[in-house]
A and B are shown apart, each in its own frame.
Chain A
């Protein structure tokens, strides 16, 4: 589904990704772990086409197609989704309207019919129930406006549920969450996992991975993936710490 080949990228003349290779297949759940500044978040932003990051070498193939020249919206329409570490607040734009506009943009791209507000609300209610986050803030308020940290993250998962991407990249979806909020977010993510879809989790800590079981785990350090393994890798990391892992490589 996603194939990253020798990817290098820089921001403001500083190279942050220094040759990343990664392949993700449908049904897989990958986790990328690593210390601050290792380039994890940069990778997620490069994958969705953030304008501040410049790819200097390598390729990103999504379902065989090189997506490097595509605008962020066109990558989204192919089925790539980024759950933001810091979801953006947008006052004045109703969250339900925003979700409907995004949903309809996808429908248009797929050649499917758009939904009017009435029909969309039905869909939205279903998704809210599925995620067990039924709360009027997601339908009444502006996008992330005045949301708590946990509510913002749940809103990201709600968007993921509405858009049903093929590949969801979740950037530190666990950061800033207390244990209950983390459990609720993980519950939602697990509801959305399927054999046709893939998940790329970017996380600092292994506690998210206690709730969502990854099929593959990668350790990133100084812009490179220095080690890959299975679901046992976070536990090794927990015992040894990043430093030890780095020095053994």
Chain B
């Protein structure tokens, strides 16, 4: 059943894409796109037999009749929305703003502040740089949705931070999803980022979208390279529109002594699946992944983390927390792979969940695959509710039961939120989280 519907879903999309490709000569990356789509046909769309899609209502997703956007130019409505969103983050002056994966030139100010040059995928592709050849589409898994992204991505964002570049300021990249008003939209933003050797960047990446009656699928793909001795501190905020479907995959490759820190927040969308894959390729590379999913209503979110220890003396820490209310469903799959050569690996994983209602549900799956000796690997997972004795303690101090629940939930989430800079962003995240859980 799902095979038939998924086959249809793919066929219709691809036919349309190919017609468009013939009509518009200027369309980018035609060879890559065609290859990707052909591969996608061979592979077929995933169904519920696969563990990572097991609890996802794929038939419903495939029934959505998704269409890529007809027009990719920006209209006034979109620019106004983007402008407003941009102003909400004005505490980070250096911004690149994208609508549906395309840079909005008037609303992107980067070179002035940071001296970073950003380009669209089209520009980089046309320049045929060696960087593009060797890095684009090299890291991402060849899964059906990733191939769809490669087939449909337009515009895109490429950032190449030169070696030894160390802007002290934070950079904000915001992608705002504005679906078509006539049909459900398939959006395919794409990000390619490289930090040169000894380069350092603090990046806030916000993925959000317009609240409107139409749904959309934001199928996003990012490939991020950290050269030797570089460091990236990434705050990744997924706050899509409440009806949206969000599929994202960010793949990271870390060379020797590279340092990655991610603070990851999954807040929006009716359904979201966020995949973060980290390859620790060079000695002494290290990755710290902190995450929080705060889900209310009937939202469903799957966080998939995979850290691959490929080189010796590599270090990774996964620390994800989840708070779920209503009938929300959460999944956490955390994988640690230690290759045979990755001696002296130090890896840990912790997943803690707080269920605020009896109908909320969480599945947590630690997956450890260790092929090397002499490694340190630890993992832990917990699922709990607010402690009645804590609520009572607060009540005896004059705080209502509802306030006590709010403060305790906030305290649980705070451990992840407080890792973020600047303080204005912490305040914003606090609001997002409490709103999501119906506790504001």
Contact with A along B383-420 (1 / 0, CB 8 A): 00001111011111111110100011011101100000
Contact with B along A90-108 (1 / 0, CB 8 A): 1111000010011001100
Contacting pair A142 B399 (CB below 8 A): no
Query: Which A residues lie within 8 Å of B415 (CB)?
Result: 91-92
Contacting pair A73 B400 (CB below 8 A): yes
Query: Which B residues lie within 8 Å of A87 (CB)?
Result: 393
Contacting pair A76 B393 (CB below 8 A): no
Please give the distance in Å from B216's CB to the nearest CB on chain A: 35
- A90-B411, A92-B412, A93-B411 known; A101 and B396 CB under 8 Å? no
Contact among A73, A91, A92 with B398 in the assembled complex (CB-CB below 8 Å):
A73
- A72-B395, A81-B396 known; A93 and B401 CB under 8 Å? no
Contacting pair A71 B412 (CB below 8 A): no
Interface residues of A in 98-128 (CB under 8 A from B): 98, 101-102, 105-106, 109
Contacting pair B399 A102 (CB below 8 A): yes
Query: Which A residues lie within 8 Å of B411 (CB)?
Result: 90-93, 142
Please give the distance in Å from B429's CB to the nearest CB on chain A: 15
Please give the distance in Å from B384's CB to the nearest CB on chain A: 12
Contacting pair B407 A71 (CB below 8 A): no
Please give the distance in Å from A152's CB to the nearest CB on chain B: 12
**Interface residue A77 (Cβ < 8 Å from any Cβ of B):** yes
**Interface residue A7 (Cβ < 8 Å from any Cβ of B):** no
Alpha-carbon distance between A234 and B388 when the two chains are bound, in angstroms: 36
Contact among A73, A93, A159 with B408 in the assembled complex (CB-CB below 8 Å):
A93
**Interface residue A51 (Cβ < 8 Å from any Cβ of B):** yes
**Interface residue A82 (Cβ < 8 Å from any Cβ of B):** yes
Contact among A50, A84, A88, A101 with B403 in the assembled complex (CB-CB below 8 Å):
A101
Contacting pair B390 A88 (CB below 8 A): yes
Determine the residue in chain A with the shortest Cβ distance to B411. A92
Alpha-carbon distance between A48 and B396 when the two chains are bound, in angstroms: 7
Alpha-carbon distance between A77 and B390 when the two chains are bound, in angstroms: 18
Alpha-carbon distance between A102 and B410 when the two chains are bound, in angstroms: 16
Please give the distance in Å from A46's CB to the nearest CB on chain B: 12
Contacting pair A101 B401 (CB below 8 A): no
Contacting pair A82 B396 (CB below 8 A): yes
Could you tell me how many residues of chain A have their Cβ less than 8 Å away from some Cβ of chain B? Answer: 28
Please give the distance in Å from B323's CB to the nearest CB on chain A: 12
- A90-B408, A93-B407, A93-B408 known; A73 and B393 CB under 8 Å? no
Contacting pair A109 B395 (CB below 8 A): no
Alpha-carbon distance between A76 and B403 when the two chains are bound, in angstroms: 14
- A73-B398, A105-B397, A106-B398 known; A51 and B403 CB under 8 Å? no
Alpha-carbon distance between A101 and B406 when the two chains are bound, in angstroms: 12
**Interface residue A31 (Cβ < 8 Å from any Cβ of B):** no
Determine the residue in chain A with the shortest Cβ distance to B402. A73
Contact among B390, B393, B401 with A71 in the assembled complex (CB-CB below 8 Å):
B401
Contacting pair B407 A72 (CB below 8 A): no
Alpha-carbon distance between A163 and B401 when the two chains are bound, in angstroms: 18
Contact among B392, B400, B401, B407 with A98 in the assembled complex (CB-CB below 8 Å):
B407
- A92-B414, A92-B415 known; A102 and B398 CB under 8 Å? yes
- A73-B401, A93-B411, A101-B403 known; A88 and B389 CB under 8 Å? yes
Contacting pair B392 A101 (CB below 8 A): no
Determine the residue in chain A with the shortest Cβ distance to B409. A92
Query: Which A residues lie within 8 Å of B398 (CB)?
Result: 73, 76-77, 102, 105-106, 109, 163
Contacting pair A90 B393 (CB below 8 A): yes
Contact among A76, A90, A92, A163 with B395 in the assembled complex (CB-CB below 8 Å):
A76
Alpha-carbon distance between A119 and B89 when the two chains are bound, in angstroms: 29
Query: Which B residues lie within 8 Å of A81 (CB)?
Result: 396
Interface residues of B in 208-229 (CB under 8 A from A): none
Determine the residue in chain B with the shortest Cβ distance to A162. B397
Determine the residue in chain A with the shortest Cβ distance to B397. A102
Contacting pair B408 A76 (CB below 8 A): no
Query: Which B residues lie within 8 Å of A72 (CB)?
Result: 392, 395-396
Contacting pair A163 B407 (CB below 8 A): no
B389, B411, B414: which has the most chain A beta carbons within 10 Å?
A: B411
Residues of chain A touching chain B, judged by Cβ–Cβ distance below 8 Å, are 48-51, 71-73, 75-77, 81-82, 84, 87-88, 90-93, 98, 101-102, 105-106, 109, 142, 159, 163
Sorted from nearest, which 3 A-B pairs have the closest CB atoms? Answer: A92-B411, A72-B395, A102-B397
Residues of chain B touching chain A, judged by Cβ–Cβ distance below 8 Å, are 387-390, 392-401, 403, 407-408, 410-412, 414-415
Q: Could you name 26 residue pairs across A and B whose Cβ atoms are closer than 8 Å?
A: A49-B395, A51-B388, A71-B401, A72-B395, A73-B397, A73-B398, A75-B396, A76-B395, A76-B396, A76-B397, A77-B398, A82-B396, A90-B393, A90-B411, A93-B411, A101-B399, A101-B403, A101-B407, A102-B394, A102-B397, A102-B398, A102-B399, A105-B399, A105-B403, A106-B398, A159-B397
